[in-house]
């Protein structure tokens, strides 16, 4: 049985043959465009070899497919014409359709292979490379960064209108939120329910929503506070209303929401009198009333103290 490395070697032999004959074939093509060139024939051969390798993937031991991807990484420059040249487009189409090589390349952080297949037109959804478990946050950041560095659209949306920033904020991935904002993610993008990343960071603050996805050492409210602070720092709109008319401040009345998030929103000038579709305002929340009253008392006390000191 052939190993995947042998499949790769056979592909590279074909490519090398083409390169050796490239100049001669160019001359022939100019003389008679109806005669298939060696390049076009080899392109189809490369495509067939790739297809045979991919279709036979399940027959190989663990690690052999990764060995093939590593091999492609080493020879990415040689293979590039066979994925980008219109004559050999079929090669790229097979890889794009199967996608195994692209997925493995992202996992292994093989930048050249990723660039190669993106240039060939592979369709990428950032959500495919996101694991909502916080313990895998570092891996998420590495994979997503690789794709963003190669020009993948940071604001791609799912059928529900979610961008990866929505998802990262909802599941409490601080480092990923930072990465996405640094790469120009739309902080005010709304999903199909009209909610922004700021809504979602606050909305999922309840411990029960995590369903065991946080590690024992993570503090859900502390994580939320960091994400809200990041979004506000990057200029997220605190007044955006979802399809129920709720601003982010409306959602802070749920259980376990900490005072610090409400205080931050108030510091950024959020209005207390905005009505949702049921006519309720954020100020209808007893928690928010208490915090606002406490802030006013603090302001009065500070004013009195400053007045006394000035005498």
Render pLDDT for 129-160 as a digit per residue (tens, 0 to 9). Answer: 887 776 667 888 988 999 999 888 999 999 99
pLDDT of 190 strictly over 50: yes
Q: Give percent of the chain with pLDDT exceeding 70.
A: 55
Domains in the chain, CATH or no CATH each: 124-310 (1.25.40.20)
Angle (CA) 181 187 191, round 5°: 130
Give the contacts of 7 (CB within 8 A, at least 6 positions apart): 49, 52, 53, 68
Which among 198, 208, 214 is positioned nearest to 262, based on CA atoms? 198
pLDDT of 163 higher than 90: yes
Share of the chain above pLDDT 90, in %: 31
Each residue's pLDDT tens digit, 203-256: 765 443 444 454 434 566 788 899 999 999 999 999 999 999 999 999 886 655
* Residue 209: per-residue pLDDT: 43
| Dihedral sign from CA coordinates of 234, 127, 4, 87 | negative
**Rounded to two decimals, what is the model's pTM?**
0.70
* Neighbour-count burial of 63, counting CB atoms closer than 10 A to its CB (0-12 exposed, 13-18 middle, 19+ buried): exposed
**pLDDT score of 266:** 92
Q: Which pLDDT belongs to residue 110?
A: 76
Least confident of 12-16, 110-114, 251-255: 12-16
Cα distance between residue 225 and residue 247, in whole Å: 17
Would the pLDDT of 287 be above 80?
A: yes
Residue 227: what pLDDT?
Answer: 94
Measure the CA–CA gap between 2 and 89, rounded to whole angstroms. Answer: 26
Query: In angstroms, rounded to a whole number, what is the distance separating the alpha carbons of residues 45 and 42?
Result: 5
* 42-101 residue pLDDT tens: 555 555 556 566 565 555 555 666 666 666 666 656 565 555 544 444 555 555 555 667
Higher pLDDT, 35 or 4: 4
């Amino acid at each position: 049985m052939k190993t995947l490395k042998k499949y790769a070697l056979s592909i590279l032999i074909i490519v090398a043959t083409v390169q050796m004959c490239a100049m001669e074939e160019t001359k022939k093509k100019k003389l008679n465009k109806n005669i298939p060139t060696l390049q076009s024939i080899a392109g189809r051969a490369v495509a067939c070899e790739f297809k045979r390798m991919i279709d036979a993937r399940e027959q190989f031991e663990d690690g052999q497919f990764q060995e093939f991807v590593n091999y492609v990484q080493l020879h990415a420059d040689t293979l590039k014409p066979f994925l980008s040249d219109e004559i050999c487009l079929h090669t790229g189409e097979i890889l794009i359709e199967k996608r195994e090589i692209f997925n493995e390349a992202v996992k292994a952080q093989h930048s050249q292979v990723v660039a190669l297949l993106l240039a060939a037109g592979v369709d990428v959804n950032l959500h495919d490379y996101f694991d909502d478990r916080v313990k895998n946050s570092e891996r998420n950041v590495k994979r997503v960064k690789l794709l963003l560095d190669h020009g993948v659209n940071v604001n791609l949306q799912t059928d529900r209108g979610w961008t990866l920033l929505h998802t990262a904020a909802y599941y409490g991935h601080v480092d990923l939120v930072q990465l996405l904002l640094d790469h120009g993610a739309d902080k005010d993008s709304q999903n199909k329910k009209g909610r922004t990343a700021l809504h979602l960071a606050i909305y999922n603050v309840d411990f029960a929503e995590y369903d065991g996805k946080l590690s024992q050492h993570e503090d859900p409210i502390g994580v939320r506070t960091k994400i809200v602070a990041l979004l506000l720092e990057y200029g997220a709109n605190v007044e955006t209303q979802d399809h129920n008319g709720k601003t982010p401040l409306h959602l802070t009345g749920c259980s376990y929401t900490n005072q610090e998030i409400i205080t931050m929103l108030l510091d950024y000038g959020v209005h207390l009198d905005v009505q949702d579709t049921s006519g309720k305002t954020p100020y209808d929340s007893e928690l928010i009333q208490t915090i606002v009253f406490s802030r006013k008392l603090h302001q009065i006390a500070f004013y009195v103290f400053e007045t006394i000191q000035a005498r």
